[in-house]
Structure 1
């Protein structure tokens, strides 16, 4: 005899309790460890590669929602996302413009991953932009598992030497994806800078 049977609760009420318990167990993805037991940094995917619908993560409800612009879900007026955009959990980047602090953004270059996918990653560089008069650091990475990689750079110099066209594509995409957000290219930094950036903003 189960606990619920002994209480003689109606079946619909038992089902509701189970759903609520499961919802309460869902982990806030922003609170996952920044790196795993194998010492790899990990990323949470928010907007999949190939999407034209930018999303955001609602940590309070552990849900993925569309970004809103002018009262409507935002849709890209440009090409789809060139990688899986998301964040590094357990990081928090302060804004100098008074905006709310947010996790360090990351772009994982690989096949499309669903929102909420957690991946071990290898940082290969940092794309530095100026957005609305504020520096924006985008960590660029590939999956740590070779089976999940579509390109396989092992460092920033390797990335630059073997995949210069990928760098150009990313530069042009981020300069063009939102015409209402003034954006300038400030350059690239290597994986050592990426590591220092991660250590700086980890909670």
Structure 2
């Protein structure tokens, strides 16, 4: 077994180096759609985050314990928009822009093309923390047939209420304040504002 240990260590090191930096994934797909990286599948409660240094997904910690949301499960797939950054110097939270993808359950690490249809404007723990709302670009993945905020609000008003109620209650320690909603134009404007200039 000892003679194989150096080989196993080399394989482990090589596999770590080959992991893709998902934060640096292109903002747009080859088809021109925006892209999102899923961290937390819909219907789950573990607060999974992407670790940019280790380039892997793990449950975040709070006070040394894995963070499990003590509320209803995530109502949609939660993740981030790669190649964006919400700068703390401008009131942001220091992370990539957050997104909720309204679809069936996806997996952590899935990269999905999406269409932005709205935005929840929030202040979370004193920091601007807007959430883009999107649907998959591939229609067969959609559970909501909305192309824009007007269709979402007119045809699925309960979805807006669910998302707003969920964000207002899922983490009582952070004192989240919902400031309102933006439409698809506001969402696109926010994505482009936080786009990394490469």
TM-score by length of 1: 0.89
| Aligned residue number for residue 18 of structure 2 | 25
Is 2:174 aligned against 1:170? no
Q: Show the 5 A alignment for 1:142-153.
A: 142-153=135-146
Cα distance, 1:19 vs structure 2: 4.3
| Maintained 8 Å contact 2:46/2:68 | yes
**Given the superposition, is the C-alpha separation of residues 19 and 71 from structure 1 closer, same or farther in structure 2, using an over 3 Å criterion?**
closer
Higher Cα radius of gyration: 1
Encode CA deviations 1:85-138: one digit per residue, 9 max, x unaligned.
Answer: 110001111125888621000011111111111000011100011222332210
Of 38, 41, 44, the residue aligned with 1:51 is 44
Verify the 8 A CA contact 1:110 1:148 in the aligned structure 2: yes
Residue in structure 2 matched with residue 6 of structure 1 by the alignment: none
TM-score normalised to the size of structure 2?
A: 0.91
- Alpha-carbon separation, structure 2, partners of 1:152 and 1:99: 31
Unmatched runs of 5 consecutive residues or more in structure 2? none
Corresponding position of 1:68: 61
Q: Among residues 182, 189, 196, which one is paired with 2:189 in the alignment?
A: 196
Partner of 1:35: 28
Residue equivalent to 1:180: 173
Q: Which residue of 1 aligns with 2:106?
A: 113
Q: Contact between 1:45 and 1:87, CA under 8 Å: does it hold in 2? A: yes
Q: Measure the CA separation in 2 of the matches of 1:100 and 1:134.
A: 6
Question: Which ranges in structure 1 are unaligned for 5 or more consecutive residues?
Answer: 1-9
CA contact (8 A) 2:93 2:128 kept: no
| 3-state SS of 2:106 partner | coil
SS in 1 for 2:88: coil
1:30 CA displacement: 0.3
- How far, CA to CA, are the matches of 2:49 and 2:18 in structure 1? 21
The answer on 1:156 being equivalent to 2:182 is no
